Structure 1
Amino acid sequence: TTGTGNVMLFCSLQNQASRIFLYAFLSVGIVCTVVGNFLVVLSITYFKQLQSPTNSFVMSLAVADCLVGLLVMPYSMIRTIEGCWYFGVLFCRLHSSLDVMLCTASIFHLSCIAFDRYYAVCNPLLYSLKMSRSRVALLIVVCWAVPMLISFGPIMLDLHIAGVDVLLPEDVCVFLVNRIYAVMASLVAFYLPMAIMLVAYWKIFKAAKRQARQINSSKKQRHRNTMKRERKAAKTLGIIMGVFLIFWMPFFTVNIVDPFIEYSTEVVVWDIFLWLGYINSSLNPFLYGLFNRSFRRAFLMFMGCRVCLPGSSPGMELSHTRKEANEPAVNCCMFIFKKMFLENNFPLIIREASN
């Protein structure tokens, strides 16, 4: 009996240690999501150089991702680790609605960014006309309104579980959906935006190759530099889209398949795929900071409280390289990054984006 008691005590302590580790690990992810996306919003709001049509979408995207970290991830963390739901049936519906809405809004913004880059690279003469302030504002409204319609309406009215015979205890908050909602919501929230992004970036890739050949035969340095910046921005956003596909594809694939296999997917599989999707909201601001010099300098200025120093202003030039020579922290980080990756045959796309 004593031996059995010791084994049970050991298992209890081991389980407690695992829970503490998971709480610490996921809490760090939540903090990184909130702080990173808040830095994006703060940087674009403060620095005039970052206030462009593309960055209007980026800022709205950061707001959606920041809200995922504030309103969705903490409760999902408790549900995942504890294995039950402590906040009632009504709040379960509200949490599921916010989860679907904010994650869908994040995906919609990425497709709008791809659409914006398509016109900037493929139709630069029409860009200012197609991406006017009013049109950008309208697209941002659509990025928030459509996700709200496909989340709060069906979920709060229980339309998403019409015909589902699975009974769940009140202390469980599992997002079950019927076949119709699973297919329609996944198409609107993921597969259609994914198709838009893939088509846009494929056309951008072809246009960039064509323009590169034209620039090679041209002696106009200013035009060459402009097109280089546009191609680099398109490549960076392409990497962001690639990360998005890697982290969200498993969840939406299972989301469609599960109702057709009688909801036999294990809860742990759902949790893993869902948290992979959340990771996308955590990674976006770090991708901006890594591949974009202006965002990188803006982040460092806010983290070092340098915006309060004399000589700092909203209209300052963030892409100026001479100032970076006077910033040891920037030089040290970039030296380590180049030694680890750029000088060891890391993909050319990242090598160019870091220049």
Structure 2
Amino acid sequence: MAAESLASLARTPGDVALVAFHVCLATLATASNLALIVTLLSARTLLRKNNYIYTFSIALSDLLVGAGWFYNGLYNVHEGLGLAYHAETLFPMFHGTSLLTLLAAMVDRYYAVQSPFRYAQKMTNLKVAIIISVAWLYPILTNVGMSMNPGGGSLTYNGYTTMIFNILILVVMLFLNVRLYVVTRRQVRRTPLSNDRSANVMIVASGLFILLWSPNMVHSSICKAFGACLRFVNNASNPFITTRMVNTLVTPMVFLMGSPATRAAFKELTHRLGRKRTVKPLPTLNDP
């Protein structure tokens, strides 16, 4: 395995600016997802609600992707560890987990808004945990299967399969986002004093997700189905992967600041940590 740091290869001010941008992106993505995870763990009552369990899962997978960008984005990597352990396969695998979890969360919020009484009766924390487990296991098993049979299927078949899957995912997410917006607006007109903003937060998060992921999914579909690929020197110079990476920063910020409950929990956490740093020990009797 050989890995060359992009910082050591920087020759022009543009190269330095590119490296600085991706260092900031990886740092902020890691820090924001870590802050969201710690906030949810500090307010255990939030994790008893299904939508925050989905949020925790998305933050965890995005944390792995953001931390991995220090390596996958800031180094030119040439590995011989096999497909399952390749950085360009391993970290996007966690991105796939984020995609599937967000899709499940959109369905969950739509079900909760459309049929609140039936949702409260049928959707338990255990069922949500099972759905999230599938969202984590499916990309992992797919990655392992590809590594065990790297030549399975023709390139044309795999390309068209990828294109159909990407189109299907985008269409389903766009449809759910529009339907969730329509149903939420209808519910707000019926109960204008409702304080539940979880559906609104999901609409914003999924809308930004579609916006930032679409360029990469379109390029990936065209590249694998028709062979019309744009070539880039490394991941850092690839705008399609970069916009997808920006989503790992945007999503936790939306969940952290957009939800009144998580915002209040984050403020309480920061105040609690601030008090611990400012409180001084009381003097003892032996002190002069």
Distance 2:263 2:245 in 1: 23
CA drift at 1:16: 4.3
Is this contact kept in 2: 1:43–1:50, CA < 8 A?
Answer: no
CA drift at 1:265: 1.7
Q: Could you say what secondary structure the match of 1:75 adopts?
A: helix
Distance 1:14 1:309 in 2: 43
Please, what is the CA RMSD of the aligned residues?
A: 2.9
How do residues 234-273 of structure 1 correspond to structure 2 at under 5 angstroms?
234-267=199-232, 271-273=238-240
| Residue 280 in structure 1 maps to residue 271 in structure 2 | no
How do residues 185-224 of structure 1 correspond to structure 2 at under 5 angstroms?
185=162, 187-188=164-165, 190-215=166-191, 224=192
Structure 1, unpaired ranges of 5+: 1-12, 164-177, 216-223, 311-355
Distance 1:307 1:269 in 2: 41
Distance 2:271 2:163 in 1: 42
Question: 2:11 aligns to what?
Answer: 15
Distance 2:25 2:269 in 1: 20
Is this contact kept in 1: 2:65–2:92, CA < 8 A?
Answer: no
Q: Percent identity?
A: 21
Query: Which residue of 76, 83, 89 corresponds with 2:80?
Result: 89
Question: 2:30 aligns to what?
Answer: 34
CA drift at 1:185: 3.8
Letter in 1 for 2:81: L
Is this contact kept in 2: 1:111–1:197, CA < 8 A?
Answer: yes
Question: 1:146 aligns to what?
Answer: 138
Q: Map Cα deviations across residues 269-298 of structure 1 (whole Å, 9 max, x no partner).
A: 971101111111111111123322222233
Q: Map Cα deviations across residues 133-171 of structure 1 (whole Å, 9 max, x no partner).
A: 2210110011111111222321453237x65xxxxxxxx
Letter in 2 for 1:257: I
Is this contact kept in 2: 1:100–1:151, CA < 8 A?
Answer: no
| Residue 24 in structure 1 maps to residue 20 in structure 2 | yes
Give the count of matched residue pairs: 266
Question: 1:319 aligns to what?
Answer: none
Letter in 2 for 1:53: N
Is this contact kept in 2: 1:122–1:203, CA < 8 A?
Answer: no
Distance 2:261 2:274 in 1: 14
CA drift at 1:268: 6.0
Question: 1:345 aligns to what?
Answer: none
Q: Could you say what secondary structure the match of 2:230 adopts?
A: coil
Q: Could you say what secondary structure the match of 1:85 adopts?
A: strand
Is this contact kept in 1: 2:184–2:199, CA < 8 A?
Answer: no
Query: Which residue of 83, 94, 107 corresponds with 2:99?
Result: 107
Question: 2:43 aligns to what?
Answer: 47
CA drift at 1:181: 2.4
Distance 2:181 2:74 in 1: 43
The TM-score normalised by the length of structure 2 is 0.80
Residues 192 and 201 from structure 1, CA distance in 2 versus in 1: closer, same or farther, beyond 3 angstroms? same
CA drift at 1:260: 4.2
Q: Map Cα deviations across residues 14-60 of structure 1 (whole Å, 9 max, x no partner).
A: 82433333222211111111111111111111103422111001001
Distance 1:16 1:290 in 2: 37
Distance 1:151 1:181 in 2: 14
Is this contact kept in 1: 2:61–2:97, CA < 8 A?
Answer: yes
Distance 2:187 2:101 in 1: 27
Distance 1:213 1:158 in 2: 54
| Residue 62 in structure 1 maps to residue 24 in structure 2 | no
Is this contact kept in 1: 2:93–2:140, CA < 8 A?
Answer: yes
Q: Could you say what secondary structure the match of 1:244 adopts?
A: helix
Distance 1:47 1:236 in 2: 19
Query: Which residue of 253, 264, 267 corresponds with 1:297?
Result: 264
Query: Which residue of 117, 124, 147 corresponds with 1:125?
Result: 117
